[in-house]
Structure 1
Amino acid sequence: MAPAVVLLHAFPLDKRMWDDVVGPIADSGWDVVVPDLIGFGESVLDEDDLDETPSLAAQARGVLSILDQIGLSNVVVCGLSLGGYVAMEMIRQDPSRIAGLALVDTKATADTEEARANRLRVADQVLESESTEALSRAMLPNLLGATTHQTRPDVVEKVRGWIREADPIGVAIAQRAMAARPDSLADLASLAVPGLVLWGSEDTLSPRAEQDLMVDAMRDARFVEIPGCGHLAAVEAPEATAAALITFLRDVERLPSAT
Protein backbone atom coordinates (compact mmCIF):
# COMPACT_ATOMS: atom_id res chain seq x y z
CA MET A 1 0.00 0.00 0.00
CA ALA A 2 1.33 3.46 -0.92
CA PRO A 3 2.11 5.79 1.96
CA ALA A 4 -0.39 8.51 2.80
CA VAL A 5 0.50 12.14 2.14
CA VAL A 6 0.57 14.74 4.92
CA LEU A 7 0.31 18.37 3.81
CA LEU A 8 1.51 20.98 6.35
CA HIS A 9 0.52 24.59 5.79
CA ALA A 10 2.42 27.87 5.81
CA PHE A 11 2.46 30.71 8.33
CA PRO A 12 0.12 32.44 9.11
CA LEU A 13 -2.44 30.43 7.16
CA ASP A 14 -4.26 27.15 7.79
CA LYS A 15 -5.09 23.94 5.96
CA ARG A 16 -7.36 25.75 3.48
CA MET A 17 -4.26 26.81 1.54
CA TRP A 18 -4.04 23.21 0.22
CA ASP A 19 -7.64 23.08 -1.03
CA ASP A 20 -6.78 23.15 -4.73
CA VAL A 21 -3.93 20.65 -4.35
CA VAL A 22 -5.72 17.93 -2.35
CA GLY A 23 -8.15 16.92 -5.09
CA PRO A 24 -5.62 16.06 -7.81
CA ILE A 25 -3.46 14.10 -5.35
CA ALA A 26 -6.44 12.17 -3.99
CA ASP A 27 -7.71 11.53 -7.53
CA SER A 28 -4.32 10.01 -8.32
CA GLY A 29 -4.84 7.39 -5.64
CA TRP A 30 -3.21 8.68 -2.46
CA ASP A 31 -4.81 9.22 0.93
CA VAL A 32 -4.24 12.81 2.01
CA VAL A 33 -4.07 14.16 5.56
CA VAL A 34 -4.29 17.94 5.95
CA PRO A 35 -4.09 19.05 9.59
CA ASP A 36 -4.23 22.52 11.06
CA LEU A 37 -1.03 23.22 12.95
CA ILE A 38 -1.33 24.31 16.59
CA GLY A 39 -2.79 27.82 16.79
CA PHE A 40 -4.32 27.91 13.33
CA GLY A 41 -7.61 27.05 11.67
CA GLU A 42 -9.72 24.63 13.69
CA SER A 43 -7.10 23.88 16.33
CA VAL A 44 -7.99 24.98 19.86
CA LEU A 45 -5.89 27.54 21.73
CA ASP A 46 -6.08 29.75 24.77
CA GLU A 47 -3.80 32.12 26.68
CA ASP A 48 -2.41 29.25 28.77
CA ASP A 49 -0.62 27.94 25.67
CA LEU A 50 1.67 30.97 25.85
CA ASP A 51 2.88 29.90 29.29
CA GLU A 52 4.89 27.08 27.71
CA THR A 53 7.94 27.85 25.58
CA PRO A 54 6.63 27.71 21.99
CA SER A 55 8.48 25.20 19.86
CA LEU A 56 8.38 23.39 16.56
CA ALA A 57 8.81 20.20 18.60
CA ALA A 58 5.30 20.68 19.97
CA GLN A 59 3.96 21.25 16.47
CA ALA A 60 5.62 18.05 15.23
CA ARG A 61 4.30 16.08 18.20
CA GLY A 62 0.83 17.35 17.36
CA VAL A 63 1.08 16.07 13.79
CA LEU A 64 2.52 12.72 14.88
CA SER A 65 -0.31 12.38 17.39
CA ILE A 66 -2.85 12.85 14.60
CA LEU A 67 -1.11 10.16 12.58
CA ASP A 68 -1.24 7.84 15.60
CA GLN A 69 -4.96 8.49 16.00
CA ILE A 70 -5.73 7.51 12.41
CA GLY A 71 -3.26 4.63 12.37
CA LEU A 72 -0.68 5.87 9.87
CA SER A 73 2.91 4.73 10.30
CA ASN A 74 4.25 5.32 6.77
CA VAL A 75 3.79 8.81 5.34
CA VAL A 76 5.20 11.23 2.82
CA VAL A 77 5.37 14.62 4.51
CA CYS A 78 5.05 17.80 2.48
CA GLY A 79 5.54 21.13 4.24
CA LEU A 80 5.38 24.64 2.89
CA SER A 81 7.28 27.37 4.76
CA LEU A 82 6.37 26.84 8.44
CA GLY A 83 5.07 23.42 7.39
CA GLY A 84 8.54 22.63 6.10
CA TYR A 85 10.07 23.54 9.45
CA VAL A 86 7.61 21.21 11.17
CA ALA A 87 8.36 18.45 8.66
CA MET A 88 12.07 18.73 9.43
CA GLU A 89 11.29 18.55 13.14
CA MET A 90 9.31 15.35 12.47
CA ILE A 91 12.49 13.88 10.98
CA ARG A 92 14.30 14.59 14.25
CA GLN A 93 11.51 13.05 16.32
CA ASP A 94 10.53 9.95 14.33
CA PRO A 95 12.39 9.41 11.04
CA SER A 96 11.08 5.85 10.76
CA ARG A 97 7.63 7.23 9.94
CA ILE A 98 8.84 9.22 6.94
CA ALA A 99 8.75 7.54 3.51
CA GLY A 100 9.50 10.75 1.63
CA LEU A 101 9.93 14.45 2.27
CA ALA A 102 8.76 17.35 0.11
CA LEU A 103 9.89 20.83 1.10
CA VAL A 104 8.05 23.70 -0.58
CA ASP A 105 9.14 27.35 -0.42
CA THR A 106 10.99 26.84 2.85
CA LYS A 107 14.56 26.65 4.14
CA ALA A 108 16.62 24.48 6.46
CA THR A 109 18.85 27.15 7.98
CA ALA A 110 18.12 28.88 11.28
CA ASP A 111 17.11 32.53 11.49
CA THR A 112 19.71 35.25 11.59
CA GLU A 113 19.76 37.37 14.73
CA GLU A 114 17.94 40.14 12.84
CA ALA A 115 15.22 37.79 11.58
CA ARG A 116 14.82 36.26 15.03
CA ALA A 117 14.41 39.68 16.64
CA ASN A 118 11.82 40.64 14.03
CA ARG A 119 9.77 37.51 14.69
CA LEU A 120 9.73 38.20 18.42
CA ARG A 121 8.74 41.81 17.79
CA VAL A 122 5.84 40.72 15.56
CA ALA A 123 4.72 38.19 18.18
CA ASP A 124 4.54 40.93 20.79
CA GLN A 125 2.72 43.30 18.42
CA VAL A 126 -0.07 40.91 17.45
CA LEU A 127 -0.68 40.01 21.10
CA GLU A 128 -0.76 43.66 22.11
CA SER A 129 -3.12 44.67 19.31
CA GLU A 130 -5.15 41.42 19.45
CA SER A 131 -5.31 41.66 15.67
CA THR A 132 -3.51 40.41 12.57
CA GLU A 133 -4.60 43.32 10.39
CA ALA A 134 -1.19 45.00 10.49
CA LEU A 135 0.45 41.62 9.89
CA SER A 136 -1.55 41.14 6.70
CA ARG A 137 -0.40 44.51 5.38
CA ALA A 138 3.22 43.78 6.25
CA MET A 139 3.37 40.22 4.93
CA LEU A 140 1.28 40.26 1.78
CA PRO A 141 3.71 42.15 -0.51
CA ASN A 142 6.42 39.50 -0.03
CA LEU A 143 4.26 36.45 0.59
CA LEU A 144 2.98 36.35 -2.98
CA GLY A 145 4.95 36.70 -6.18
CA ALA A 146 4.95 39.72 -8.46
CA THR A 147 2.99 37.82 -11.12
CA THR A 148 0.24 36.98 -8.66
CA HIS A 149 0.03 40.58 -7.44
CA GLN A 150 -0.21 41.82 -11.02
CA THR A 151 -2.57 39.26 -12.54
CA ARG A 152 -4.51 37.43 -9.81
CA PRO A 153 -6.25 39.88 -7.48
CA ASP A 154 -8.61 37.10 -6.36
CA VAL A 155 -5.70 35.14 -4.91
CA VAL A 156 -4.30 38.26 -3.23
CA GLU A 157 -7.63 38.95 -1.54
CA LYS A 158 -8.07 35.33 -0.52
CA VAL A 159 -4.68 35.24 1.20
CA ARG A 160 -5.30 38.65 2.79
CA GLY A 161 -8.52 37.27 4.29
CA TRP A 162 -6.81 34.16 5.63
CA ILE A 163 -4.15 36.23 7.40
CA ARG A 164 -6.79 38.51 8.93
CA GLU A 165 -8.63 35.46 10.26
CA ALA A 166 -5.53 34.05 11.97
CA ASP A 167 -5.62 33.87 15.78
CA PRO A 168 -3.12 36.38 17.26
CA ILE A 169 -2.17 33.85 19.93
CA GLY A 170 -1.44 31.22 17.28
CA VAL A 171 0.57 33.75 15.30
CA ALA A 172 2.65 34.66 18.35
CA ILE A 173 3.28 31.03 19.27
CA ALA A 174 4.38 30.19 15.73
CA GLN A 175 6.63 33.24 15.44
CA ARG A 176 8.39 32.42 18.69
CA ALA A 177 8.75 28.77 17.67
CA MET A 178 10.23 29.69 14.29
CA ALA A 179 12.61 32.15 15.91
CA ALA A 180 14.01 29.33 18.06
CA ARG A 181 14.28 26.71 15.33
CA PRO A 182 17.63 24.98 14.77
CA ASP A 183 19.56 24.52 11.56
CA SER A 184 18.23 21.35 9.92
CA LEU A 185 20.77 20.69 7.17
CA ALA A 186 22.43 17.87 9.12
CA ASP A 187 19.02 16.28 9.68
CA LEU A 188 18.33 16.38 5.96
CA ALA A 189 21.71 14.78 5.32
CA SER A 190 20.77 11.91 7.65
CA LEU A 191 17.57 11.17 5.73
CA ALA A 192 17.74 8.05 3.57
CA VAL A 193 14.37 8.47 1.83
CA PRO A 194 13.65 10.49 -1.35
CA GLY A 195 13.30 14.24 -1.12
CA LEU A 196 11.73 16.96 -3.24
CA VAL A 197 12.53 20.65 -3.07
CA LEU A 198 9.79 22.66 -4.77
CA TRP A 199 10.23 26.40 -5.22
CA GLY A 200 8.32 29.32 -6.70
CA SER A 201 10.64 31.30 -8.95
CA GLU A 202 9.50 34.63 -7.44
CA ASP A 203 9.88 33.56 -3.81
CA THR A 204 12.03 36.18 -2.09
CA LEU A 205 11.39 34.92 1.46
CA SER A 206 13.06 31.56 0.78
CA PRO A 207 15.58 32.41 -1.95
CA ARG A 208 17.07 29.99 -4.46
CA ALA A 209 20.35 29.71 -2.56
CA GLU A 210 18.45 28.19 0.38
CA GLN A 211 16.87 25.64 -1.95
CA ASP A 212 20.28 24.61 -3.26
CA LEU A 213 21.49 24.01 0.29
CA MET A 214 18.62 21.60 0.93
CA VAL A 215 19.06 19.77 -2.38
CA ASP A 216 22.79 19.40 -1.74
CA ALA A 217 22.20 18.14 1.81
CA MET A 218 19.83 15.33 0.89
CA ARG A 219 21.08 12.02 -0.48
CA ASP A 220 18.26 11.58 -3.01
CA ALA A 221 16.74 14.94 -3.89
CA ARG A 222 14.83 16.39 -6.80
CA PHE A 223 14.41 20.08 -7.50
CA VAL A 224 11.42 21.60 -9.27
CA GLU A 225 11.02 25.31 -9.97
CA ILE A 226 7.54 26.66 -10.61
CA PRO A 227 7.61 29.87 -12.66
CA GLY A 228 5.45 32.90 -11.97
CA CYS A 229 4.72 32.36 -8.29
CA GLY A 230 6.18 33.40 -4.96
CA HIS A 231 6.26 31.95 -1.45
CA LEU A 232 2.88 30.22 -1.66
CA ALA A 233 3.26 27.92 -4.65
CA ALA A 234 0.37 25.72 -3.51
CA VAL A 235 -1.97 28.71 -3.60
CA GLU A 236 -0.52 30.65 -6.52
CA ALA A 237 0.09 27.66 -8.82
CA PRO A 238 -1.89 24.72 -7.38
CA GLU A 239 -2.03 22.69 -10.60
CA ALA A 240 1.74 22.82 -11.10
CA THR A 241 2.33 22.13 -7.40
CA ALA A 242 0.01 19.12 -7.44
CA ALA A 243 1.62 17.78 -10.62
CA ALA A 244 5.12 18.03 -9.13
CA LEU A 245 3.99 16.32 -5.92
CA ILE A 246 2.25 13.52 -7.82
CA THR A 247 5.39 12.84 -9.85
CA PHE A 248 7.40 12.70 -6.63
CA LEU A 249 4.86 10.44 -4.93
CA ARG A 250 5.09 7.99 -7.82
CA ASP A 251 8.86 7.90 -7.34
CA VAL A 252 8.36 7.14 -3.64
CA GLU A 253 5.72 4.50 -4.35
CA ARG A 254 8.10 2.57 -6.60
CA LEU A 255 10.54 2.05 -3.73
CA PRO A 256 10.23 -1.32 -1.93
CA SER A 257 10.01 0.37 1.49
CA ALA A 258 6.92 2.30 0.40
CA THR A 259 4.81 -0.78 -0.19
Structure 2
Amino acid sequence: MELVRAGVLDVGVERYGDPSGPPVVLLHGFPYDTRSYDDVARLLADTGADVVVPYLRGFGPTRFVEDTTLRSGEQAALAHDLHDLIGAMALDRPIVAGYDWGGRAACAVAALWPESVSGLVSVSGYLVQDIEGAVATPAPPHLEKRYWYQYYLHSERGRAGLAAYRAEIAQTLWTDWSPTWRFGDSEFAATAPSFENPDFVDVAVHSYRHRYGLAPGDPRYAATQDALAGQPSITVPTVLLDPTEDTVAGLYSSPDHGAHFTDLVDVRAVDAGHNPPQELPGVFADAVRTLAEIVAARN
Protein backbone atom coordinates (compact mmCIF):
# COMPACT_ATOMS: atom_id res chain seq x y z
CA MET A 1 0.00 0.00 0.00
CA GLU A 2 1.21 3.49 -0.85
CA LEU A 3 -0.19 6.97 -0.30
CA VAL A 4 -0.66 9.07 -3.42
CA ARG A 5 -1.28 12.82 -3.19
CA ALA A 6 -4.18 13.42 -5.57
CA GLY A 7 -6.24 16.58 -5.39
CA VAL A 8 -7.59 17.11 -1.87
CA LEU A 9 -6.61 13.62 -0.71
CA ASP A 10 -3.71 11.43 0.21
CA VAL A 11 -5.15 8.27 -1.32
CA GLY A 12 -4.31 4.84 0.00
CA VAL A 13 -3.57 2.71 -3.05
CA GLU A 14 -2.87 -0.98 -3.43
CA ARG A 15 -1.09 -1.93 -6.65
CA TYR A 16 -0.68 -5.29 -8.33
CA GLY A 17 1.01 -6.60 -11.46
CA ASP A 18 3.33 -4.93 -13.95
CA PRO A 19 3.55 -1.12 -13.68
CA SER A 20 4.36 -1.04 -17.38
CA GLY A 21 1.28 -3.08 -18.29
CA PRO A 22 -2.11 -1.77 -19.40
CA PRO A 23 -3.63 0.07 -16.42
CA VAL A 24 -6.87 -0.85 -14.69
CA VAL A 25 -8.41 1.03 -11.75
CA LEU A 26 -10.83 -0.95 -9.54
CA LEU A 27 -13.19 1.05 -7.32
CA HIS A 28 -15.11 -0.22 -4.31
CA GLY A 29 -18.43 0.90 -2.89
CA PHE A 30 -20.10 1.70 0.43
CA PRO A 31 -19.75 0.06 2.90
CA TYR A 32 -16.91 -2.06 1.53
CA ASP A 33 -13.23 -1.47 0.75
CA THR A 34 -10.37 -2.68 -1.42
CA ARG A 35 -10.73 -6.25 -0.11
CA SER A 36 -13.57 -6.57 -2.62
CA TYR A 37 -10.92 -6.81 -5.30
CA ASP A 38 -8.24 -9.07 -3.80
CA ASP A 39 -8.94 -11.98 -6.14
CA VAL A 40 -9.88 -9.84 -9.14
CA ALA A 41 -6.65 -7.86 -8.85
CA ARG A 42 -4.52 -10.99 -8.74
CA LEU A 43 -6.32 -12.51 -11.72
CA LEU A 44 -5.77 -9.37 -13.77
CA ALA A 45 -2.18 -8.98 -12.59
CA ASP A 46 -1.49 -12.51 -13.82
CA THR A 47 -2.38 -11.33 -17.34
CA GLY A 48 0.19 -8.51 -17.17
CA ALA A 49 -2.08 -5.64 -16.19
CA ASP A 50 -1.11 -2.76 -13.93
CA VAL A 51 -3.90 -2.95 -11.35
CA VAL A 52 -4.59 0.04 -9.09
CA VAL A 53 -7.07 -0.36 -6.22
CA PRO A 54 -7.65 2.86 -4.22
CA TYR A 55 -9.50 3.39 -0.96
CA LEU A 56 -12.26 5.94 -1.51
CA ARG A 57 -12.49 9.11 0.57
CA GLY A 58 -13.57 8.22 4.09
CA PHE A 59 -12.21 4.68 3.97
CA GLY A 60 -9.10 2.95 5.26
CA PRO A 61 -5.85 4.92 5.06
CA THR A 62 -7.12 7.63 2.69
CA ARG A 63 -7.01 11.06 4.33
CA PHE A 64 -7.90 14.64 3.46
CA VAL A 65 -4.87 16.88 3.04
CA GLU A 66 -6.54 19.88 4.74
CA ASP A 67 -8.67 19.87 7.88
CA THR A 68 -10.86 22.59 6.38
CA THR A 69 -11.95 20.58 3.32
CA LEU A 70 -15.65 19.72 3.37
CA ARG A 71 -16.05 15.98 4.01
CA SER A 72 -18.27 15.66 0.98
CA GLY A 73 -19.58 12.35 -0.32
CA GLU A 74 -21.30 13.82 -3.37
CA GLN A 75 -20.85 12.18 -6.76
CA ALA A 76 -18.90 15.12 -8.17
CA ALA A 77 -16.33 14.79 -5.39
CA LEU A 78 -15.89 11.08 -6.08
CA ALA A 79 -15.47 11.87 -9.77
CA HIS A 80 -12.73 14.40 -9.09
CA ASP A 81 -10.99 12.00 -6.71
CA LEU A 82 -10.72 9.39 -9.47
CA HIS A 83 -9.76 11.88 -12.17
CA ASP A 84 -7.11 13.41 -9.91
CA LEU A 85 -5.72 9.97 -9.04
CA ILE A 86 -5.39 9.01 -12.71
CA GLY A 87 -3.41 12.19 -13.28
CA ALA A 88 -1.30 11.93 -10.14
CA MET A 89 -0.26 8.37 -10.97
CA ALA A 90 0.27 9.21 -14.66
CA LEU A 91 -1.96 6.32 -15.70
CA ASP A 92 -2.35 6.16 -19.48
CA ARG A 93 -6.09 5.97 -20.15
CA PRO A 94 -6.90 3.12 -17.77
CA ILE A 95 -9.96 0.93 -17.86
CA VAL A 96 -12.03 1.98 -14.84
CA ALA A 97 -14.30 -0.55 -13.14
CA GLY A 98 -16.52 -0.34 -10.11
CA TYR A 99 -19.76 -0.86 -8.25
CA ASP A 100 -21.87 1.32 -5.96
CA TRP A 101 -19.93 4.52 -5.05
CA GLY A 102 -16.95 3.30 -7.05
CA GLY A 103 -19.10 2.57 -10.08
CA ARG A 104 -20.60 6.05 -9.78
CA ALA A 105 -17.13 7.62 -9.79
CA ALA A 106 -16.14 5.53 -12.81
CA CYS A 107 -19.32 6.41 -14.72
CA ALA A 108 -18.92 10.11 -13.94
CA VAL A 109 -15.30 10.23 -15.11
CA ALA A 110 -16.13 8.27 -18.27
CA ALA A 111 -18.97 10.71 -18.98
CA LEU A 112 -17.16 13.97 -18.26
CA TRP A 113 -13.53 13.17 -19.14
CA PRO A 114 -13.70 10.35 -21.71
CA GLU A 115 -10.23 11.19 -22.96
CA SER A 116 -8.79 10.09 -19.61
CA VAL A 117 -10.03 6.47 -19.76
CA SER A 118 -10.09 3.75 -22.40
CA GLY A 119 -13.11 1.83 -21.16
CA LEU A 120 -15.62 1.24 -18.36
CA VAL A 121 -16.95 -1.77 -16.48
CA SER A 122 -19.96 -0.75 -14.39
CA VAL A 123 -22.11 -2.87 -12.11
CA SER A 124 -25.83 -2.06 -12.46
CA GLY A 125 -25.47 0.24 -15.42
CA TYR A 126 -25.56 4.04 -15.45
CA LEU A 127 -24.91 5.24 -11.90
CA VAL A 128 -24.79 9.02 -12.34
CA GLN A 129 -27.38 10.36 -9.93
CA ASP A 130 -30.38 12.33 -11.09
CA ILE A 131 -30.77 14.30 -7.86
CA GLU A 132 -33.66 16.44 -9.04
CA GLY A 133 -35.54 13.35 -10.13
CA ALA A 134 -34.82 11.53 -6.85
CA VAL A 135 -36.20 14.44 -4.85
CA ALA A 136 -39.34 14.78 -6.96
CA THR A 137 -40.24 11.14 -7.64
CA PRO A 138 -40.69 8.70 -4.75
CA ALA A 139 -40.57 4.97 -5.39
CA PRO A 140 -43.38 2.57 -4.47
CA PRO A 141 -43.37 1.77 -0.72
CA HIS A 142 -42.16 -1.83 -1.13
CA LEU A 143 -39.02 -0.40 -2.74
CA GLU A 144 -38.66 2.67 -0.53
CA LYS A 145 -38.34 0.50 2.58
CA ARG A 146 -35.06 -0.87 1.25
CA TYR A 147 -33.60 2.63 1.54
CA TRP A 148 -33.93 2.72 5.32
CA TYR A 149 -30.20 3.30 5.79
CA GLN A 150 -30.29 6.41 3.60
CA TYR A 151 -33.23 7.94 5.44
CA TYR A 152 -31.63 6.94 8.76
CA LEU A 153 -28.57 9.00 7.86
CA HIS A 154 -30.75 12.02 7.07
CA SER A 155 -31.18 12.48 10.83
CA GLU A 156 -28.69 13.29 13.55
CA ARG A 157 -29.81 10.13 15.29
CA GLY A 158 -28.65 8.24 12.23
CA ARG A 159 -25.30 10.01 12.25
CA ALA A 160 -24.84 9.00 15.89
CA GLY A 161 -25.94 5.47 15.07
CA LEU A 162 -23.42 5.10 12.27
CA ALA A 163 -20.66 6.45 14.50
CA ALA A 164 -21.53 3.96 17.25
CA TYR A 165 -22.31 0.94 15.07
CA ARG A 166 -20.14 1.27 11.96
CA ALA A 167 -19.37 -2.42 11.57
CA GLU A 168 -22.81 -3.61 12.66
CA ILE A 169 -24.59 -1.42 10.10
CA ALA A 170 -22.16 -2.44 7.38
CA GLN A 171 -22.60 -6.14 8.13
CA THR A 172 -26.38 -5.72 8.05
CA LEU A 173 -26.18 -4.08 4.62
CA TRP A 174 -23.84 -6.76 3.27
CA THR A 175 -26.34 -9.42 4.35
CA ASP A 176 -29.41 -7.60 3.07
CA TRP A 177 -27.96 -6.63 -0.30
CA SER A 178 -26.34 -9.96 -1.14
CA PRO A 179 -28.74 -12.59 0.21
CA THR A 180 -27.06 -15.45 -1.67
CA TRP A 181 -23.50 -14.55 -0.64
CA ARG A 182 -22.33 -16.58 2.33
CA PHE A 183 -19.41 -14.44 3.40
CA GLY A 184 -17.53 -15.54 6.48
CA ASP A 185 -16.63 -13.65 9.63
CA SER A 186 -13.01 -13.45 8.48
CA GLU A 187 -14.02 -11.82 5.18
CA PHE A 188 -16.00 -9.14 6.94
CA ALA A 189 -13.31 -8.66 9.59
CA ALA A 190 -10.75 -7.97 6.85
CA THR A 191 -12.79 -4.96 5.66
CA ALA A 192 -14.21 -3.62 8.94
CA PRO A 193 -11.10 -1.63 9.96
CA SER A 194 -11.64 0.65 6.96
CA PHE A 195 -14.74 2.03 8.65
CA GLU A 196 -12.61 3.42 11.47
CA ASN A 197 -11.36 6.15 9.14
CA PRO A 198 -11.99 9.46 10.97
CA ASP A 199 -13.95 10.82 8.02
CA PHE A 200 -16.09 7.74 7.36
CA VAL A 201 -19.21 8.98 9.13
CA ASP A 202 -19.07 12.54 7.80
CA VAL A 203 -18.51 11.44 4.19
CA ALA A 204 -21.28 8.82 4.32
CA VAL A 205 -23.80 11.15 5.94
CA HIS A 206 -23.05 13.90 3.43
CA SER A 207 -23.41 11.48 0.53
CA TYR A 208 -26.86 10.32 1.54
CA ARG A 209 -28.07 13.81 2.38
CA HIS A 210 -26.68 15.53 -0.70
CA ARG A 211 -28.28 13.08 -3.12
CA TYR A 212 -31.72 14.15 -1.83
CA GLY A 213 -30.97 17.87 -1.77
CA LEU A 214 -30.67 17.92 2.02
CA ALA A 215 -27.07 19.14 2.21
CA PRO A 216 -25.16 21.62 0.05
CA GLY A 217 -22.29 20.38 -2.05
CA ASP A 218 -18.69 21.48 -1.94
CA PRO A 219 -18.53 24.70 -4.00
CA ARG A 220 -15.32 23.55 -5.68
CA TYR A 221 -17.33 20.82 -7.44
CA ALA A 222 -20.39 22.90 -8.34
CA ALA A 223 -19.63 23.06 -12.06
CA THR A 224 -19.04 19.32 -12.18
CA GLN A 225 -22.29 18.61 -10.36
CA ASP A 226 -24.12 20.88 -12.80
CA ALA A 227 -22.65 18.86 -15.68
CA LEU A 228 -23.68 15.58 -14.08
CA ALA A 229 -27.20 16.90 -13.51
CA GLY A 230 -27.60 16.83 -17.28
CA GLN A 231 -27.18 13.04 -17.24
CA PRO A 232 -24.39 13.06 -19.85
CA SER A 233 -23.96 10.04 -22.10
CA ILE A 234 -20.99 7.72 -21.71
CA THR A 235 -19.17 7.30 -25.01
CA VAL A 236 -16.25 5.03 -24.08
CA PRO A 237 -16.45 1.25 -24.68
CA THR A 238 -18.46 -0.23 -21.82
CA VAL A 239 -19.29 -3.62 -20.33
CA LEU A 240 -22.20 -3.68 -17.88
CA LEU A 241 -22.78 -6.29 -15.21
CA ASP A 242 -26.37 -6.68 -13.99
CA PRO A 243 -26.43 -8.63 -10.69
CA THR A 244 -29.57 -10.76 -10.44
CA GLU A 245 -29.51 -11.13 -6.65
CA ASP A 246 -28.88 -7.51 -5.64
CA THR A 247 -31.79 -6.28 -3.52
CA VAL A 248 -30.97 -2.56 -3.69
CA ALA A 249 -29.11 -1.53 -6.87
CA GLY A 250 -32.16 -1.75 -9.08
CA LEU A 251 -33.61 1.17 -7.17
CA TYR A 252 -30.96 3.64 -8.30
CA SER A 253 -29.68 2.33 -11.62
CA SER A 254 -31.34 2.90 -14.98
CA PRO A 255 -32.68 -0.14 -16.84
CA ASP A 256 -32.54 1.79 -20.12
CA HIS A 257 -28.89 1.20 -20.91
CA GLY A 258 -29.19 2.37 -24.50
CA ALA A 259 -30.19 5.85 -23.36
CA HIS A 260 -26.89 6.42 -21.59
CA PHE A 261 -24.18 4.39 -23.36
CA THR A 262 -23.23 4.97 -26.98
CA ASP A 263 -20.58 2.22 -27.19
CA LEU A 264 -22.09 -0.66 -25.25
CA VAL A 265 -19.87 -3.68 -25.79
CA ASP A 266 -21.78 -6.17 -23.65
CA VAL A 267 -24.39 -6.50 -20.91
CA ARG A 268 -23.98 -9.55 -18.69
CA ALA A 269 -26.39 -10.85 -16.08
CA VAL A 270 -24.44 -12.25 -13.13
CA ASP A 271 -25.74 -14.40 -10.29
CA ALA A 272 -24.44 -12.10 -7.56
CA GLY A 273 -25.62 -9.53 -5.07
CA HIS A 274 -24.35 -6.01 -4.52
CA ASN A 275 -20.63 -6.81 -4.46
CA PRO A 276 -19.92 -8.88 -7.60
CA PRO A 277 -16.11 -8.59 -7.57
CA GLN A 278 -15.88 -10.28 -4.18
CA GLU A 279 -18.79 -12.66 -4.74
CA LEU A 280 -17.77 -13.76 -8.25
CA PRO A 281 -14.20 -12.56 -8.84
CA GLY A 282 -13.63 -14.71 -11.91
CA VAL A 283 -16.71 -13.30 -13.62
CA PHE A 284 -15.73 -9.72 -12.81
CA ALA A 285 -12.13 -10.22 -13.95
CA ASP A 286 -13.35 -11.78 -17.20
CA ALA A 287 -15.47 -8.70 -17.92
CA VAL A 288 -12.42 -6.47 -17.49
CA ARG A 289 -10.26 -8.78 -19.64
CA THR A 290 -12.88 -8.89 -22.40
CA LEU A 291 -13.07 -5.11 -22.49
CA ALA A 292 -9.28 -4.78 -22.45
CA GLU A 293 -9.00 -7.10 -25.45
CA ILE A 294 -11.58 -5.12 -27.38
CA VAL A 295 -9.91 -1.81 -26.56
CA ALA A 296 -6.50 -3.19 -27.59
CA ALA A 297 -7.88 -4.54 -30.87
CA ARG A 298 -9.42 -1.17 -31.73
CA ASN A 299 -6.15 0.61 -31.07
The residue type equivalent to 1:6 in the other structure is V
The 5-angstrom pairing of residues 105-120 of structure 1 reads: 105=124, 107-110=127-130, 112-113=134-135, 115=147, 117-120=151-154
The residue type equivalent to 1:141 in the other structure is T
Ranges in structure 2 where 5+ consecutive residues have no aligned partner: 1-19, 136-143, 212-224
Q: Whole-Å Cα distance in 2 between the matches of residues 209 and 61 of structure 1?
A: 21
Cα distance, 1:7 vs structure 2: 0.6
The 5-angstrom pairing of residues 1-259 of structure 1 reads: 3-44=22-63, 48=67, 51-105=70-124, 107-110=127-130, 112-113=134-135, 115=147, 117-121=151-155, 124-126=159-161, 128-129=163-164, 131-144=165-178, 146-148=179-181, 152-154=182-184, 158-159=187-188, 162-163=191-192, 165-167=194-196, 169-181=199-211, 186-187=231-232, 189=233, 191-207=234-250, 210=253, 212-221=255-264, 222-227=266-271, 229-256=272-299
Q: Whole-Å Cα distance in 1 between the matches of residues 29 and 263 of structure 2?
A: 24
Q: Whole-Å Cα distance in 2 between the matches of residues 133 and 139 of structure 1?
A: 10
Cα distance, 1:46 vs structure 2: 9.3
Cα distance, 1:29 vs structure 2: 2.5
Q: Whole-Å Cα distance in 2 between the matches of residues 224 and 135 of structure 1?
A: 30
Cα distance, 1:40 vs structure 2: 0.7
Conserved 8 A contact 1:185-1:217? no
CA separation of 1:178/1:99 partners in 2, compared to 1, >3 Å: closer, same or farther?
farther
Structure showing the higher helix proportion among its residues: 1
Give me the identity figure in percent: 26
Cα distance, 1:58 vs structure 2: 2.5
Q: Secondary structure at the match of 1:198?
A: strand
Cα distance, 1:137 vs structure 2: 4.5
Ranges in structure 1 where 5+ consecutive residues have no aligned partner: none
Q: Whole-Å Cα distance in 2 between the matches of residues 49 and 200 of structure 1?
A: 39
Cα distance, 1:85 vs structure 2: 1.1
TM-score, scaled relative to structure 1? 0.80
Q: Whole-Å Cα distance in 2 between the matches of residues 195 and 178 of structure 1?
A: 27
Deviation digits for residues 40-61 of structure 1 (CA, Å, limit 9, x no counterpart):
1221259946745443323332
CA separation of 1:220/1:57 partners in 2, compared to 1, >3 Å: closer, same or farther?
same
Cα distance, 1:209 vs structure 2: 9.0
Conserved 8 A contact 1:127-1:172? no
Conserved 8 A contact 1:197-1:211? no
Cα distance, 1:163 vs structure 2: 4.0
CA separation of 1:216/1:242 partners in 2, compared to 1, >3 Å: closer, same or farther?
same
C-alpha RMSD of matched pairs (Å): 3.2
Question: How many correspondences in the alignment?
Answer: 247
Q: Secondary structure at the match of 1:231?
A: coil
CA separation of 1:204/1:110 partners in 2, compared to 1, >3 Å: closer, same or farther?
farther
Cα distance, 1:23 vs structure 2: 1.2
